[in-house]
Amino acid sequence: MTTKFETGSVVTGKVTGIQPYGAFVALDEETQGLVHISEITHGFVKDVSEHLSVGDEVKVKVLSVDEAAGKISLSIRATEEAPAPQAKPAAAKKPRRQGSVKPAAEETTPAGFNTLKDKLEEWIEQSEREDLIKK
């Protein structure tokens, strides 16, 4: 493999093969790299062959060069400007579910653990009275 392709450089290549996971692009006669399916275009790509064909000339950015493994990672997406986020039309928005708002009821009894505490004291008194009755 040659070291003439540096990370970050943009070059033109030719698509030599298409796989379900991406496309192989020849950068010169000796060197080819892989454009992963996630790097083909902005947005979701279901099928690589819907976007690329063997023989297509593409502009790619070199993402990484692994000399030891002999692999070059490429991106077509990095050479394109990201599309502006599209606002959904007003009609397409789902209506928000209206929940019923209950007015705050004023409670005269204490809430939370206080009522349990009071109830526990009542149960203890009750159990002591039952002990007296059984004797």
Kindly state whether residue 133 falls inside one of the protein's structural domains.
Answer: no
Kindly state whether residue 26 falls inside one of the protein's structural domains.
Answer: yes
Does the pTM surpass 0.85? The reply is no
Q: How does pLDDT run across 98-119, given as a tens digit for each residue?
A: 766 666 655 555 555 567 777 8
Give the per-residue pLDDT at 125.
84
CA distances from residue 100 to 43, 93, 97, 103 in whole angstroms, order as listed: 39, 21, 10, 10
Confidence of residue 35 (pLDDT cuts 50, 70, 90): very high
Return the minimum-mean-pLDDT range out of 45-49, 68-72, 73-77, 90-94.
90-94
CA distances from residue 61 to 23, 50, 86, 135 in whole angstroms, order as listed: 14, 21, 26, 93
CATH at 47 = 2.40.50.140
Kindly state whether residue 115 falls inside one of the protein's structural domains.
Answer: no
Kindly state whether residue 95 falls inside one of the protein's structural domains.
Answer: no
Give the per-residue pLDDT at 63.
92
Instruction: Give the chain's mean pLDDT.
Output: 81
Give the per-residue pLDDT at 108.
57
DSSP secondary structure string, the chain? --S---TT-EEEEEEEEEETTEEEEESSSS-EEEEEGGGSSSS--S-GGGT--TT-EEEEEEEEEETTTTEEEEESGGGSPPPPPPPPPGGGSPPPPPPPPPPPPPPSSPPTHHHHHHHHHHHHHHHHHHHHHH-
Kindly state whether residue 89 falls inside one of the protein's structural domains.
Answer: no
Q: How does pLDDT run across 51-75, given as a tens digit for each residue?
A: 899 999 999 999 999 888 888 999 9
The answer to whether residue 2 scores a pLDDT higher than 60 is: no
Kindly state whether residue 117 falls inside one of the protein's structural domains.
Answer: no
The answer to whether residue 20 scores a pLDDT higher than 60 is: yes
Give the per-residue pLDDT at 80.
85
Kindly state whether residue 73 falls inside one of the protein's structural domains.
Answer: yes
Kindly state whether residue 114 falls inside one of the protein's structural domains.
Answer: no
Count of domains forming the chain: 1
Range of the domain at 20: 10-79
Contact 9, 62 (CB under 8 A): yes
Give the per-residue pLDDT at 97.
72
